[in-house]
Structure 1
Amino acid sequence: MKINIVIAFILWISLSACESLVTEIDDADLPKTESRLTVQAFLSPENPRIIVAVTQSRPLFGEPNTTEGIIRNAVVKLSDETREVTVPFDSTNDLYVTDKARFPVVAGRTYKITVSQGGRTVTSTCSVPAKAVVPMTFELDTAYTSFSDTTLRLKMKWTDIPGERNYYRVRAFVDLEYSIPDGLGGGKYSERRVRNRFNVNWEETIGRDNFQSDVNLDGTVFTSPTGTLRLPGPTGFGTSDGSYFTVYPKAKIISMTMEVLNTDENYFRYHKSLDNARNADNPFVEPSLVFTNIEGGLGCFAAYHTGQLIYRPK
């Protein structure tokens, strides 16, 4: 009995000590922060539409979920040297959208965005790169890691535009035709052919990822990191009669679209900062703020010019 009393007393002392280490701060002493308009829009002559996302940040100190992030009643205006348009809100996608035919984006031209809502106004400008860079060569092969696991591997090269500062991003898409199971009912299956587009993923190595700049590399030949795409594998099912039905995808490449984006500095710095933020748990990466070029708010207004190479196997 005495032992139990002693143990209870020790626990009470420990809990009291822990509570004494917690200091409560009055709300009046916390830094005053307010939500800010956040704008994201990327212009390109190749895109059929201009899409603007308008949200608001959540204060660091404040009640959670007190305000909805999406802003639906903003006035969004785009302008260049000669004209200005108001971008309407698309309630289906919660975005501000206008067609290329209504407001063309021209290579080499400078654009301004103005977003106003509830007494708040933010602005930004960006210039579309004048030149496009097209991939000049590529290497495509396959790697087999198991019976049902086949991976496409892609590398491409392009020549840097000499005499100017350039920032690049690489992208690639594969249009595949392959077989999938098609249920007939009653536990019976057949197969049918479908087509889908898949994104190529890029392997990141030290000093090389899908974002690169020509600092100290002016006019040289650039090589992308290795892009990979895991192809669909076999799918098996047990049927009602006790047999086993397997569908082999028999994947066929319809086309592969390879792109080099010649971006402005804003686009490059914004996306690199997002990568750094995602790697915040990596002890070898220094923490950094997400880049913004929105005056009075947060986000990014930037531009790029796309060069494209399409490969269609015969």
Structure 2
Amino acid sequence: MKLAPYLLLFLVILSGCESLVTEVPNAELPSTESKLVVQCFISPQTTRINVTVSESVPLFGESDAQGNVIDNATVKISDGTREIIIPYDPASLLYTIDKPPFQIVPNGRYTLTVTDGKRTATGTCTVPQNQALIKSYEIDTVYNHDYPGDTAVKVKMTWGDIPGQANYYRVRASMYVEYTIARGTTLENLTRQRVRNRFSFDWDDTIGRNNFQSDVNLDGETFDSPSGYVSMPTTAVYDFGNGNKFVVRPNWKILSISFFVLNTDEAYYKYHRSLELRGNGENPFAEPTIIYNNIAGGLGCFAAYNSSVLVYQP
């Protein structure tokens, strides 16, 4: 019987909480419309132009299983004199063209137009004129900090800032490796085969450096990249029981390592940095980040970069 007053108090509090919930009729919700979402990055060093076209999800709408990809748009790119239509490729879900009739050139200005008949989105960009000079690089093998006992390749690089102008950079690196894998599914038909694959380095930005950097207050200085890592192929053991094992040691061999410094336009830098900041959910006190947009009539980014490359071959 002594529980009755507490039960009554709980019911009063519960009813008070329910009264705080207000249902808003659909007619009073703010009206929002989906927009075309466009993403395209061009460079003199790439022969293929890829454009992704989708549509945003309205505030109170739902996305479909295809991620709202638009496959019936008309996508055009112009250099100010000539204009080409970029066809849709259903296999890649991209609007793509290899070796377009006109080249992407340094200091060239380009316009991208996307329309689906009822909406039109446009973007313009200018390709940076200069390439950054890669000054030095470091290559080392270390124990993999994610998988103790395994080996990782570690790289770093430095490059010189292009003086007298605002610059935005992104670093990349990739490694071409030959190694041994297993082919087959049973102990009787398993064989060893040598293959070649390219691996991209992941950058460690925990020490303060980032793979995106700008030369604000650093004009003409030498820049350092963060450390990049690639985990090397490891030994695979196929255990069929009763002591029947098939062991494949990768015996990997580095064929080449390519270092890239992308001199990007401001839009490329701001767009990718905003994506990085938006994806950093580890800090619960971080303020929400707005994704950078330079697409008129839509969302997304049309930007350019001019890349320099240095290739190491053992």
Task: With the length of structure 1 as denominator, give the TM-score of the two structures.
Answer: 0.91
Q: Which residue of 1 aligns with 2:284?
A: 283
What amino acid does structure 1 have at the position aligned with 2:184? Answer: G
Matched, 1:163 2:137: no
What amino acid does structure 1 have at the position aligned with 2:87?
P
Query: Which residue matches 1:153?
Result: 154
1:27–1:66 distance in 2 versus 1, CA, 3 Å: farther
Distance 2:155 2:128 in 1: 26
User: 1:75 corresponds to which letter in structure 2?
Assistant: T
Unpaired stretches in structure 2, ≥5 consecutive residues: none
Question: Matched residue of 2:134: which SS?
Answer: coil
SS of alignment partner, residue 289 of structure 2 = coil
Instruction: Tell me the equivalent position of 1:261.
Output: 262
Deviations 1:225-270 (A, max 9, x none): 0001111111112245524332221111011111110100000000
Per-residue Cα deviation, 1:201-224 (whole angstroms, up to 9, x for no partner): 000135411000111111111111
Residue-by-residue CA offset, 1:148-174 (whole Å, 9 max, x unaligned): 411111001111111111110011111
Distance 1:147 1:267, change over 3 A: closer
CA contact (8 A) 1:45 1:107 kept: yes
* 8 Å CA contact retained: 1:189, 1:239: no
| C-alpha distance in structure 1 between counterparts of 2:215 and 2:148, whole Å | 41
Moved more, 221-230 or 281-290: 281-290
Aligned mates of 1:159, 1:147 — CA distance in 2:
35
Q: What is the number of residues matched between the two proteins?
A: 312
Question: What residue number does 1:71 align with?
Answer: 70
Give the deviation of 1:101 after TM superposition. Answer: 3.7
| Deviation for aligned residue 1:16 | 2.8
Cα distance between partner residues in 2 of 1:220 and 1:241: 63
1:56 counterpart = 2:55: yes
Quote how far apart the aligned CAs of 1:135 are: 1.9
| Secondary structure of 1:86 counterpart | strand
Distance in 2 between the 1:107 and 1:67 partners? Answer: 36
Residue 36 of structure 1 corresponds to which residue in structure 2? 35
Secondary structure in 1 aligned to 2:234?
coil
Pairing 1:94–2:100 present: no
Contact kept? 1:134, 1:259, Cα under 8 Å: no
Shift in alpha-carbon separation, 1:92–1:153, aligned structure 2, 3 A: same
8 Å contact from structure 1 (residues 187, 240) kept in 2:
no
Q: 1:237 to 1:186 in 2, by over 3 A?
A: closer
Structure 1 residue matching 2:270: 3-state secondary structure = helix
Take 2:182 and 2:60, find their aligned partners in 1: how far apart are those partners? 52
CA 1:216 to 1:181, structure 2 compared with 1: closer, same or farther past 3 Å? same
Aligned to 2:294: 293
Paired residue type of 1:164: Q
Instruction: Give unpaired runs (5+ residues) of structure 1.
Output: none
Residue 64 and residue 13 in structure 1: after superposition, are their counterparts in 2 closer, same or farther (change >3 A)?
A: farther
Aligned-partner Cα distance in 2 for 1:5–1:64: 49
Change in Cα spacing, 1:8 to 1:187, as seen in structure 2 (3 Å) is: farther
Higher mean displacement: 68-77 or 299-308: 68-77
Change (3 A) 1:252 1:284: farther
Q: Offset of 1:63 from its aligned partner?
A: 5.0
**Distance across 1 between alignment mates of 2:96 and 2:148:** 46
Whether contact under 8 Å (1:188, 1:239) holds in the other structure is: no
Tell me which amino acid in the other structure corresponds to 1:278: G
- Contact kept, 8 Å, 1:160 with 1:222, in 2: the verdict is yes
Q: Is the 8 A contact 2:80 2:111 kept in 1?
A: no
TM-score, normalized by length of structure 2?
0.91
